[in-house]
Amino acid sequence: MSVSYQAETPFDNIEGSNEYVALLAEALDEARRDVEAEIAAADRDGADRRKEALLLVAFNLAKLNLHITSSRRILNDLRTLRRLLLAERSLPSQEEKRVAASGGTG
């Protein structure tokens, strides 16, 4: 009897979490572009304190991006390992292979 599991949140499975992290990475990229534009504007306007604050924001966004990239790799590794484990589970055991090769007699 096979029971189909329906995910209730995006984090109930690796694929959903991977999708969420990918969307977060896209949002980070957009935020970094916006901040870079703001830094250029602050530089043109001579707003040194604002520029310094924006540089700190850019630095923290870059750190967060590294964490997100690492998280994506980990999720991909977990997905690969799960696929390998599920495929291994569905393969016949060595004993089953031996019995099948001998014509069904054990």
Query: Would you tell me how many other CB atoms lie within 10 Å of the CB of residue 79?
Result: 15
- 38 lies in some domain: yes
Summary mean pLDDT of the chain: 86
Residue of 43 and 101 predicted with greater confidence = 43
Range of the domain at 36: 14-88
- 7 lies in some domain: no
Contacts for 14-20: CB closer than 8 Å, 24+ residues apart = 14/75, 14/78, 14/79, 14/82, 15/79, 17/75, 18/72, 18/75, 18/76, 18/79
C-alpha to C-alpha distance for 33 and 99, rounded to whole angstroms: 63
- 101 lies in some domain: no
Three-state secondary-structure class, residue 22: helix
**Interval 63-90 mean pLDDT:** 92
How high is the pLDDT of residue 2? 46
Model pLDDT for residues 15-56, shown as the tens digit of each residue: 888 899 999 999 999 999 999 999 999 999 999 999 999 999
- 55 lies in some domain: yes
Question: How many structural domains is the chain composed of?
Answer: 1
How high is the pLDDT of residue 65? 96
- 43 lies in some domain: yes
- pLDDT of 10 above 70: no
- 76 lies in some domain: yes
- pLDDT of 96 above 70: no
- 46 lies in some domain: yes
- 23 lies in some domain: yes
